[in-house]
Amino acid sequence: MLRRLYIRNYVIVDRLELEFSAGFGALTGETGAGKSILVDALSLALGERADAGTVRGGCEKAEISAEFALAAGSPLTAWLRANDFDDDSCLLRRVIESNGRSRGYINGAPATLAQLREAADFLADIHGQHAHHGLLRGDTQRQLLDGLAGQRPLAEEVAARHAVWREAKAARQAAEKDIETHAREREMLAWQVKEVAALDFDSGEWASEWADMTLEHKRLAHAASLQAGVDEALDGLFEGEQAAMMRVEQGGARLRQLTDYDPSLQGALEIVESARIQLQEAAHALRHYRDRIELAPERLAEIENRMRAVHDIARKYRVQPEGLPQLLAGWRARLTELETLQDVAALAEREAQARQDYLSRAESLSKGRKKSAVALGKAVTQSMQTLAMPGGCFEVALEALPEGGAQGLENVEFRVSAYPGQATGPLSKVASGGELSRIGLAIQVIASAAGNVPTLVFDEVDVGIGGGVAEIVGRLLKQLGAQRQVLCVTHLPQVAAQADWQWSIAKEEADSGVASRVRPLDRDERVEEIARMLGGVKITQTTRQHAAEMLGY
């Protein structure tokens, strides 16, 4: 459940830190005091979109943090762990800058809006004051029904399988239409593959093969220069009359004689000896290399011909030689695809299988919808009897779609009759504004009760009702509060009086302008607030007694 809400520099809120209790809590106050602002701030922490207009005037940024208690075994714990967030608590934080940019955090770590919304699905449901208008849309009705049946994942799977079926159908239709085009493309690709494959290279080792070939070509092309250069080096170092080796040996012999007179020359002698040994090793290496140098014009011509063929093909298809294996692999993959496209019968079989996969899951979805439709119809009809619509009836109609669709095998439509004997009709055409508000509230309460979200927020969902109906609504919310945490922004004293606890929200003058203030109400203050809601500006003792009676004091 929601434990704390911290708001800073948001709209008319300069700074608020609120601690919430379990049960049913009512948020009351004059119109414009900022009651719904608290709900809007919570929505931002839960991942709703933000804009620069939410930042309090003259401030650089707004900040909202919502801390939730995690129940033992909460599925959110596994979600936090799977997404690399700390899983020992749940703190959602949102920072909105004056330029409209925003940042989100979960347990102190940066989070995307999508992640905030995913976490919110485990934490809270917010029903806005105009939520019942959304019930007029067919997609909202369908999603609500699937949610009650616990079938939203199945509905998503059905939509995905429908997309696969549609793609398979389009591929089959395209193949039938483009048989000649595909045949020409296949013929051209087959010729290109044959031309490149004739180079006979191993695509897995082509890079090293090309590098070795380039190196061998360079060595053979310069074999004469290499031989002359090695001969020149050998002559200057070892074999000529003034060879370096002869001079080093002479110098070493002379130093060896001189060490008899001065032993300190031993170090220099050792260096000269080392140079002599290294020169001998160099001579051996050069003679060995000279013996291996070969003038192989036939091999050079062979390599040059192959390199020329590779370069010609690469130039023709506008790739580097190193890119030929990848080009060939792409052509072969396209050929395989074209062969599949060419086989219309195989495509038709694939389409039929995709359709069967779709139908199998869509039929399961339909079964769940039928069961949930009956249950929802009964529950809402029962609630209508206590919401000033005696004899009214609510039903969920499932209209079959011959070919099915992404949403399944049927359209979902909420139908209602507000009076006995009246035929049911679409909710959007039959229900008046007040009736729609009451039916919408009943559906929201039923949907929330069927879910497992620990915190439910109702923002002035009781608009359009009053009197005894309002008292019944209050009782419904109180019943919910026995199982979940329920927060309700309301103008109705009959609803607020049913709450387990109550806050009063008011606007006050502050140094930085008008600011919203929240004050928890004790027993006497609740009587005064309910009396204000009942009697308006002038509160009499009779009004206070009535308020106390409503509160059960």
Within-domain flag for 144:
no
pLDDT confidence of residue 131: 57
Give how far the C-alpha of residue 235 lies from the chain's centroid of Cα atoms, to the nearest Å. 74
Q: pLDDT per residue over 258-298, tens digit each? A: 888 888 888 888 888 888 888 888 888 887 777 676 666 66
Q: How confident is the model at residue 365 (pLDDT cuts 50, 70, 90)?
A: very high
- Which tokens belong to 426? 């679409």
Alpha carbon separation from 22 to 4, 6, 80, 89, 474 (Å, rounded)? 12, 18, 24, 18, 16
For 418-545, where are the E strands, in sequence order?
A: 425-426, 455-459, 485-489, 501-510, 513-520
pLDDT at 12: 85
Residue 416 inside a domain? The answer is no
Query: What would the 3-class secondary structure string for 178-221 be?
Result: CHHHHHHHHHHHHHHHHHHHCCCCCCCCHHHHHHHHHHHHHHHH
Q: Which residue range is the domain that position 27 belongs to?
A: 1-123+453-521
Q: The domain spanning residue 28 has which CATH number?
A: 3.40.50.300
CA–CA distance, 93 with 5 (Å, rounded to integer): 10
Half-sphere exposure of 222 (CA within 13 A, CB side): 9
Q: Same structural domain for residues 195 and 117? A: no
User: Does residue 140 sit within a domain?
Assistant: no
332 plus 255 within the same structural domain: yes
Residue 460 has which token pair?
């002035």
106 lies in the same domain as 221: no
> pLDDT over 90 for what percent of the chain?
32
Residue 441 has pLDDT above 80, yes or no: no
Whether 203 has a pLDDT exceeding 70, the answer reads no
Token pair listed for 369:
């919808």
How far is 217 from 221, CA to CA, in rounded Å?
A: 6
In this structure, the answer to whether residues 8 and 117 fall within a common structural domain is yes
Quote the pLDDT of residue 342.
Answer: 64
Pair 38, 6: CB distance under 8 Å: no
pLDDT in tens, 95-120: 999 888 999 999 999 999 999 999 99
Q: Which segment of 58-62, 122-126, 301-305, 403-407 scores lowest on mean pLDDT?
A: 301-305
Number of domains in the chain: 2
96: Cα separation from own chain's centroid: 21
Query: Is the domain of 198 the same as that of 114?
Result: no
Mean pLDDT to the nearest integer, 28-53: 85
Question: How far apart (Å, rounded) are the C-alpha atoms in residues 218 and 436?
Answer: 87
pLDDT at 133: 63
pLDDT for residue 373 is more than 90: yes
Residues 6+ apart with CB under 8 A from 468: 388, 494
Confidence of residue 475 (pLDDT cuts 50, 70, 90): confident
Residue 209 has pLDDT above 60, yes or no: yes
What pLDDT was estimated at residue 260?
Answer: 82
The pLDDT score that the predictor gives to residue 395 is 93
Nearest to 83 by CA among 42, 121, 126, 44: 121
Q: Which of 137-141, 205-209, 239-243, 354-358 has the lowest mean pLDDT?
A: 205-209
Q: Cα Rg for the chain, rounded, in angstroms?
A: 42
User: Is 94 inside any structural domain?
Assistant: yes
Residue 290 and residue 194 share a domain: yes
Is the same domain home to 208 and 332? yes
pLDDT value at position 200?
74
Comparing 351-355, 393-397, 457-461, which segment has the lowest mean pLDDT? 457-461
Residue 471 phi, psi dihedral angles, 5° rounding: -65, -40
Amino acid 194 reads K
Domain shared by 3 and 82, yes or no: yes
Residues 95 and 197 in one domain: no
Q: Is residue 527 part of a domain?
A: no
Q: Are residues 113 and 200 in the same domain?
A: no
b/e per residue, 367-405, with b = 16+ CB within 10 A?
A: ebbeebbebbbebbbebbebbbbeebbbbbebeeeeebe
Picking from 340, 372, 398, the residue at the C-terminal end of a domain is: 340
Rounded to whole angstroms, the Cα distance separating 352 from 329 reads 30
Cα–Cα distance between 522 and 352 in angstroms, integer? 68
- Say what percent of the chain tops pLDDT 70: 90
pLDDT surpasses 90 at 366: yes
Angle, helix 344-386 to helix 138-148, in steps of 10 degrees: 80
- Look at residues 294, 309, 340 and tell me which one is the last residue of a structural domain: 340
Q: Can you tell me whether residue 294 is helix, strand or coil?
A: coil
Q: Are residues 193 and 96 in the same domain?
A: no
Model confidence, pTM: 0.60
Q: Assess whether 333 and 192 both reside in one domain.
A: yes
Instruction: Summarize the confidence of residues 22-38 as an average pLDDT.
Output: 85
Provide the 3-class DSSP secondary structure of residue 549.
Answer: helix
Tell me, yes or no, whether 219 lies in a domain: yes
Domain presence at residue 345: no
Q: How far apart are the first and last CA of the chain?
A: 28
258 falls within a domain: yes
68 close to 14: Cβ distance less than 8 angstroms: no
- Output the pLDDT for position 165: 96
Query: Using CA atoms, how far apart are residues 37 and 18, in angstroms rounded to an integer?
Result: 13
Last residue of a domain, one of 309, 340, 371: 340
